[in-house]
Structure 1
Amino acid sequence: MKIAFVGKGGSGKTTLSALFVRHLAAAGAPVIAVDADINQHLGAALGLDEAQAAALPAMGDHLPLIKDYLRGSNPRIASADAMIKTTPPGEGSRLLRVCEDNPVYEACARPVELDGGAVRLMVTGAFTDADLGVACYHSKTGAVELCLNHLVDGRDEYVVVDMTAGSDSFASGMFTRFDITFLVAEPTRRGVSVYRQYKEYARDYGIALKVVGNKVQSRDDLDYLRAEVGDDLLVTVGHSDWVRAMEKGRPSRFDLLEEPNRDALRLLHTTADAAYEQRDPERYTRQMVHFHLKNADAWGNERTGADLAAQVDPGFVLGEAVSEPA
């Protein structure tokens, strides 16, 4: 299943993403972790040192390879150059699966050893000096969106994405690519305002949204979140000596994480599994097409010189039963 962590900058969403990835790995689940934030910190939160994190390949640097592989033999896509970040799969497209080896993973993913097993880590790549003043960061996250559009994941397989901060996720259709979204909110006016904005934007798209209260230090903090967030508040997380040691580069064994925080991660896990049961492949595909047509009209047709609506395969539904091209 596909899981997003969102929240304002500094809310702790990357830390919570990393803790959840560690929890899943310790449970023996296959996991792909994706850092789609403008500030690339997920690798460090998973224990990589600065040199190792800097050496991670940027997905955006391999976009031509990604497009060429995913296009496959799809007759509706004339060339890889005609693909944009929202291009949906169709008959003949190559799809990505969590538990496989393929050229995209070979180029863009690296294994990270954690307690209990390894996960695949993929990153969009940092915003560089060459990008300043001439590039939009969302052009880098386009590689993530394209991969999610072509990813088939099943029960007990997990794709965990640390998203861009605040409401930036709504600059594309990527916010609809998940079975559940965990919004990490501090018990502050700013933290709650991001929740309200996200809730309002997601209202018409059937987004499963749950709030994880972070940095909750008192009963008053808890009461504040309950009053502002209501039933969307799933669980709260407080101070963690284990996390503080990890942030200093001295993590202990993951099974030594404080029991209340381990309980919180278990609840995230069971909530994500329950969301999988509500999965609707037809709606997922319909939303994918909706945002592709919007992007085609707004800029894609002009940039590629083609009518990108023709890329839509009306009979195709992305789901576990979809077959691979011969």
Structure 2
Amino acid sequence: MKAAFVGKGGSGKTTLAALFCRFLGVQDAPRVLAFDADINQHLAVALGADPDEAALLPALGDHLEEIKEYLRGSNSRIESAAAMLKTTPPGPGSRILRVDGPNPLYERLVRPFGGVRLAATGPFAADDLGVACYHSKVGAVELMLNHLADGPGEYAVVDMTAGADSFASGLFTRFDLTFVVCEPTVRSVGVYSQYVGYARDHDVRVAVVGNKVDDADDVAFLRDEVGDDLLCWIGRSGFVKATERGRFLPIDELEPSNAQALATMRAALDRCGKDWSRYAQQAAEFHTRNALAWGNARAGADLTAQIDPGFTLAPATAAAR
């Protein structure tokens, strides 16, 4: 399954993404692949990496052409890696990724932290200022998820950019379930309202996870504001406070109520039905949008021809299973 974490800046989405990944990593030995797609690259540290060690993590955004060339494979609809957009969907001959590999991209770009395998888009560099937007880097994650055939017991978890900035690309459609991390504050639920207003127009499943919840009044506030979207909540946590101060405890020492919230999140994710046809249709929609808006003009060709209308990732998933 594929899951995203979004929310207002400072809501704790990176902390919860890391907790969820660590929780999955010890539950029935599932396979977990995490992506840091936030402009503030903190997921590696939240997973237990030393800041200096985290700084050495290869940046997917710096290897976009290599990623394109590998994923293109022998797909006859794609003339060259240079002709690929971040939205280019897979087709016959494309190389399909699995959550646990192995493949040359993972060997070069993925590193283990805290028992979780992580890839990161990389920070916004000084050379990018005034030249490129951050989504030119995040496009590497979108491209990899387009080509990722995740099967039972496999999880891809993405820490997204804060707020509604996630909608600057089609990446927000690449998930089976999007967890909106929401503090019991007006500003935080305002971001939730903005997010779901866009997401539901594209059939994106959303579940709210309350965070920094102190008491029943906080829960009541969240329930009044988000209604049935409230899935569960994380209370104030000594475990989390220790983590944020650089002391990483075993995940089984997390408070029982907070561990139960993580179990509820996993159960909700596992209940999401896999619809590979819908997944392919969404990819085709956003590829067409990007091709018509700017891709065709840049390439001097009709890049919508890269779409194979009959191709989905379902056979690749079944074959691997």
Fold-level similarity (TM above 0.5): yes
Change (3 A) 1:184 1:323: closer
Tell me the SS of whatever aligns to 1:151: coil
Q: TM-score, normalised by structure 1?
A: 0.95
For residues 71-122 of structure 1, the C-alpha deviation after alignment (integer angstroms, 9 at most, x for no partner) is 000001000000010001111111101122111111210122x3xxx32100
1:320, distance to aligned residue in structure 2 (A): 4.7
- Tell me the equivalent position of 2:68: 67
User: Would you say the 8 A contact 2:181–2:211 is kept in 1?
Assistant: yes
Verify the 8 A CA contact 1:96 1:152 in the aligned structure 2.
Answer: yes
Indicate if the aligned counterparts of 2:96 and 2:316 stay in contact, CA closer than 8 A.
Answer: no
Matched residues in 1 for 2:269 and 2:84: separation? 31
Partner of 1:242: 239
- Deviation of 1:318 (Å): 2.0
In structure 2, how many angstroms separate the alpha carbons of the residues matched to 1:157 and 1:296? 31
The runs of 5 or more residues in structure 1 that have no matched partner are none
Q: Give the distance between the partners of 1:249 and 1:202, measured in 2 at CA.
A: 35
Aligned to 1:300: 295
Does the 8 A contact of 1:36 with 1:162 survive in 2? Answer: yes
Q: Which residue of 1 aligns with 2:4?
A: 4
Distance of 1:307 and 1:177 partners within structure 2: 24
Query: Is 1:87 equivalent to 2:88 in the alignment?
Result: yes
SS at match of 1:214: strand
| Residue number in structure 1 paired with 2:313 | 318
Within the candidate set 210, 224, 241, 2:207 is matched to 210
Letter in 1 for 2:24: L
Q: Percent identity?
A: 61
**2:306 partner amino acid:** Q
Mapped to 1, the partners of 2:291 and 2:315 lie a distance apart of 27
Alignment-derived partner of residue 182 in structure 1 = 179
Match of 2:314, SS state, is coil
The SS at the match of 1:197 is helix
SS state at 2:297 partner: helix
The letter of the residue matching 1:171 is A
Letter in 2 for 1:12: G
- Confirm or deny: 8 A CA contact 1:153 1:320 kept in the other structure: no
What per-residue deviation string (whole Å, max 9, x for no partner) do you get for residues 242-286 of structure 1? 1111111112222111111111111111111111xx221111100
Asked whether 1:287 is paired with 2:288, we answer: no
**Which residue of the partner structure matches residue 19 of structure 1?**
19
Structure 1 CA distance for aligned equivalents of residues 295 and 243 of structure 2: 43
RMSD, matched Cα: 1.2
SS at match of 1:255: helix
Do the aligned partners of 1:154 and 1:320 also contact (CA within 8 Å) in 2? no
Instruction: Determine the structure 2 residue equivalent to 1:270.
Output: 267
Q: Take 1:128 and 1:99, find their aligned partners in 2: how far apart are those partners?
A: 29
Q: Distance in 2 between matches of 1:289 and 1:322?
A: 19
Q: Tell me if structure 2 keeps the 8 A contact 1:70–1:94.
A: yes
User: Whole-Å Cα distance in 2 between the matches of residues 76 and 321 of structure 1?
Assistant: 19
Distance 2:204 2:43 in 1: 24
For 2:87, the aligned partner's letter is: T
For 1:319 and 1:235, the matched residues in 2 are separated by 31
Q: Aligned to 1:164, what secondary structure does the other structure show?
A: coil
Alpha-carbon distance between aligned partners in 1 of 2:62 and 2:318, rounded to the nearest angstrom: 29
- Whole-Å separation in 1 of the counterparts to 2:310 and 2:279: 14
1:156 equivalent among 153, 157, 165: 153
Contact 2:145 2:174 in 1 (8 A): yes
Q: 1:254 to 1:85 in 2, by over 3 A?
A: same
Q: CA deviation at 1:204?
A: 2.1
- Aligned letter for 1:163? M
Gaps of 5+ in 2: none
- Report the CA distance between 1:218 and its aligned residue: 2.2
Question: C-alpha distance in 2, partners of 1:137/1:204?
Answer: 24
Q: Comparing 161-170 with 299-308, which one deviates more in the overlay?
A: 299-308
Q: How does 1:242-261 map to 2 (within 5 A)?
A: 242-261=239-258
Structure 1 ranges of 4+ moved more than 3 A: 320-324
The CA deviation at 1:224 is 0.9
Q: Quick one: distance in 2 between partners of 1:52 and 1:109? A: 13
